[in-house]
Structure 1
Amino acid sequence: MDQQRDVYQQLAARSGRQFLDGLRALPEFKPAPGIHLGQLRVTVTVVDGKDVGFVDMDPVNLGDLGDIAARRAEGLRAKHARLNARPTLRLIGGGQ
């Protein structure tokens, strides 16, 4: 059981690193010369594990990512609702 927990923590850490790498790859949003928007820090920690790392981001990119995640969540909820609403054929009884 401990081995399985370790594997899941390693997978979570790898996913966290991939997420942070993706955030770092985004170009910083710069509205105009001399204007500084401030930064927000995104930290990834494996629950009951270690810190994976952090990245400082501008609020515009982070807000856009939040909007994208919200749209994806809405689409996934709608998809699952459609799948659960489909009629299914069930075989009851039978046999010899």
Structure 2
Amino acid sequence: MHDANTLIRRMPKAFKPEAAGSMSLRIVYAIDAPMTVIVEHGVCQVMDGAIESPDVVLRIRDKHLIKLMTGRMMGLTAFATGKLKVDGDYTLAAKIQHIFDREKLTD
């Protein structure tokens, strides 16, 4: 079983630059140990901690993020049931799942 931070650290490996295109996105995962994911110029970077002025903040418990990232929970379901709270650009938040290959997060 993976922890939430380990899964986030694997996001560059799962990143699909062709799906992201010219997208610029700064995501803060507000979890027990917050992390930031930055997508710019076809590159994905991950850093510990939260940056100021992100495009999207995802507020979610670690256990729910693990389910979301491993496909045991859908993003819309997590949002609709209050397990995921989104601050910032909802349009960009909706694109997150499309620019990462979930299978590569867990192998």
Point out the structure with the larger strand share.
2
Point out the structure with the larger helix share.
1
Greater RCO, 1 or 2 (C-alpha within 8 Å, sep 6+): 2
Instruction: Give me the TM-score of the superposition, normalised by structure 2.
Output: 0.28
